[in-house]
A and B are shown apart, each in its own frame.
Chain A
Amino acid sequence: MGIVTETKKLTLSIGGICCSIHSEDSRFLDVLRARYQSFEALDPATYEIFVQLVPFPALSFDNTGGIPRIDVKRTSTGDGYLVRRKDNPFVAMVNTLSRKVQVKMWDSEYCFDSFLRIFYSLTLVDEGGLLLHASSASDRGRANVFFGPSGSGKTTVARLSQGRTVLTDELAIIKPLDGRYKVYGTPFWGEFTPGRSNVQAELNGLYSLKKDQRNSILPLDKIRAVMDLYRCVLFFSDDSQLLSKILDTCCAVVDKVPIYELHFRQDPSFWEVINDQD
């Protein structure tokens, strides 16, 4: 009679990047499985993430004065990053050569979610992609992305997208594929949580959001477009090489994808000016 060993891992695919999460705590994996259920995958993983849950005092940063709330630093050997966060605390070592990640964190799905956002913001850089503060809605396989700082109306736009597939209301992944750009929904939602579906679509247009009394679309010159886009990229490292890559990516996106400033009333009528633009 053989012995069946329970596999304690969960594989997720977000933005076309697969990662397997390993933990000795199957209860914790079940919590994550429920949270990220729409993004569970059977594909082979590119990254292996090993999670060690530690008790409260073990991650105290009290003696490490001067460390910012979120700290991402390239290792001295150049083969990865040390990622630390004080609130929702965790410490992670990301090895970009072996593609293995060791994480110590509290037993909290919020800690893990926080880590996962930062992890993806890092891994996307090398793929020419971005994790963007944006909402997105698609229609017939083509998606528009609405980006802007907090309070600009991303969630409002998502709520006003009836009849379309909402990819996200908080964070969208933009990645190049075969010379074009695709938009991916993510499990990182804000207030609007219709089901967190794992959807991707071809990127049709980018809209920098401005709440207004009237709907209008204004083309953005390239410099303004790159600056508006860059400001909405979710990124935490101060590494100059990575910042340079992000700047490159923003310039590349602006070169290939139409980008506008959308002044919109807070009702569904703004879709008329977008459809007219298409």
Chain B
Amino acid sequence: MIKIKGKDTMLSKYLLRSDSTAYRTINGLALIVGAPEGKLRSLNEAGTFIWEQADGRHTLSDIIDQMCQKYDVDYTQAAQDAETFVHELERQDMLVLMDDPAGSEEM
């Protein structure tokens, strides 16, 4: 199993849900809405997992590792799908990608 890691890749970034988003989980699946667009979208199980783990304390690589254990999926495919998903949410200002974990600037 090949893991791709690097300081500057998306996989090494800490994910944090943006303050301008709201979400609710129904039957294990997330509905998310972000300002200013205001469009409501539903996430599938994998998307919901990534979204809920995006608390600023986990890198994308950490999250994918957990997903592969939980759902018994191939890491490379999971990483590709996750990066596409995260990139889209970041583009819409719903996710923030950080070099350091949330709260680390206070230490």
Taking beta carbons and an 8 Å cutoff, which residues of A are in contact with B? 221-223, 226-227, 230-231, 235, 238-240, 243-244, 247-248, 251
Interface string of B15-34 (1 = CB under 8 A from A): 00001111110110101011
B42 within 8 A of A: yes
B19, B21, B33, B37 — most chain A CB neighbours (10 Å)? B33
A221 to B36, CA, bound (A): 27
Known A247-B31, A247-B33, A251-B26: A223·B42 in contact at CB below 8 Å: yes
Are B26's CB and A222's CB within 8 A? yes
A187 CB, min distance to chain B CBs, angstroms: 26
Pick the contact of B20: A221, A223, A240 (CB < 8 A). A240
B40 within 8 A of A: yes
Are A240's CB and B19's CB within 8 A? yes
Task: Count B-side interface residues using an 8 Å CB cutoff.
Answer: 18
A183 CB, min distance to chain B CBs, angstroms: 22
14 of the cross-chain contacts (CB-CB < 8 Å) are: A221-B27, A223-B31, A223-B42, A226-B26, A230-B40, A238-B36, A240-B19, A240-B20, A240-B21, A240-B34, A243-B22, A244-B22, A247-B24, A251-B26
A248 to B22, CA, bound (A): 9
Taking beta carbons and an 8 Å cutoff, which residues of B are in contact with A? 19-24, 26-27, 29, 31, 33-38, 40, 42
Residues of A within 8 A of B40 (CB): 226-227, 230-231, 247
Are B24's CB and A243's CB within 8 A? no
Pick the contact of B35: A222, A227, A243 (CB < 8 A). A243
Pick the contact of B38: A221, A223, A238, A251 (CB < 8 A). A238
Further 20 A-B residue pairs, CB within 8 A, beyond A230-B33, A238-B37, A240-B20: A221-B27, A222-B26, A223-B26, A223-B27, A223-B29, A223-B31, A226-B24, A226-B26, A226-B31, A230-B40, A231-B40, A235-B38, A240-B19, A240-B34, A243-B22, A244-B22, A244-B33, A247-B31, A247-B33, A251-B24
Are B22's CB and A240's CB within 8 A? yes
Closest 4 interchain pairs by CB?
A: A238-B36, A244-B22, A240-B35, A240-B20
